[in-house]
Amino acid sequence: MSVNWHEIVLSTKWLARLDHQAIKRFGQQGLAEEASSYVLEKLAKNNWACCNTYIGKAKPETFLYTLTGNLLEEFSRKRFGRPRPPEWLKREGELWVSIWKMVCLERQGVMTVTDNLCKLGNREPHFIEGIIRTIKARLPWCGSSHREIPVSAVCAYEQKDDNHTHEIEDHSIAQQLNAQQLEDTLQLMAQLLVFISRPSDKVKFTECALTMNHEQLDNLYQSLELSPEEQLLLKMAYQEGMKMNAIAKAMNLPPYQPGRLLKGILKRIEHALNDANISTQDIQSLLQGSRE
């Protein structure tokens, strides 16, 4: 399908949006301008060759924004390298990795990152601040110098990244669920999770010292089943910290719907855990105990 990309991309409106997107991504004006130029150059290269994958099904503007987002990330990789984030951080979800990139590698200011990620109210600032605090507590080198970090240094720091102090408020679920004190008591939960991820282990699981019968296990298994939409909803709410209205927009739902859907999913999970004699209060007090 033939689209006049030249006309769309070089329009004042689209250029202003590109600048806005770059500023939001990199925080600093100079770097953002450099990134915008990189994107424009890449888009226009070989007579808009990278737009050739467009087959005319999506809106051209939405397609362009997807392309632009990828090119901005490509720019960041070229400029700052491709260091691997620590494993514990990856477990927390993609938002943590993005913030780690912004704060530790690109050395954007905490305020800038918080403002950019919460601009127009799609997230609560304290959610982002909590993540930054945890990352900085566990990775003391993060954002401390203005020179670029060699990849080897990042890998070396990865080895030491668990030497953090417990006095600093730690929002990572890994810290909360992997603490030494919890290992024995959460074995039940771990077995449960293993069982859920590998239903073929059901017989093995039922042989362990649990007071659950087949019916309870079946119910638990079914109740924790999530559709792709439900899984994305949970990720947006609990990993990305997005507000309900932002989730509704992202998933093409009426504004009241995500809240109701989440309520339903959580109720289902809570009932399933209760039926299997696991209460959230018990888990909560175990988590509390591990941190004291």
Restricted to residues 234-253, the positions that interact with another protein (CB under 8 A) are 234-235, 237-240, 243-246, 249-250, 252
The length of the chain, given as a count of residues? 292
CA distance 141 to 148: 12
Q: Is 28 in the site for another protein (CB under 8 A)?
A: no
The three-state secondary structure class of 242 is: strand
| Separation of alpha carbons 133 and 125, rounded Å | 12
Q: Closest approach of Cβ 151 to another protein, in Å?
A: 19
Residue 13 or 214: the one with the smaller Cβ distance to another protein is 13
Among residues 44 and 234, whose Cβ is nearest to another protein?
234
Compute the distance between CA of residue 173 and CA of residue 91 in angstroms, rounded to an integer: 9
Q: How far is the CB of 145 from another protein (least distance, A)?
A: 26
* Residue 1 to residues 52, 55, 67, 68, 284, Cα–Cα distance (Å): 9, 6, 17, 20, 56
Question: What dihedral angle (degrees, nearest 10) is formed by the CA atoms of 122, 237, 90, 175?
Answer: 110
Closest to another protein by CB, 80 vs 141, is 80
- Interaction pattern, residues 88-127, with another protein; x per rule: CB under 8 A: --x---xx-xx--------------------xxxx-----
Residues numbered 250-279 forming contacts with another protein, rule: CB under 8 A = 250, 252, 254-256, 259, 262, 265-266, 269-270, 273
Q: Residues 196, 201, 202, 219: which binds another protein (CB under 8 A)?
A: 196
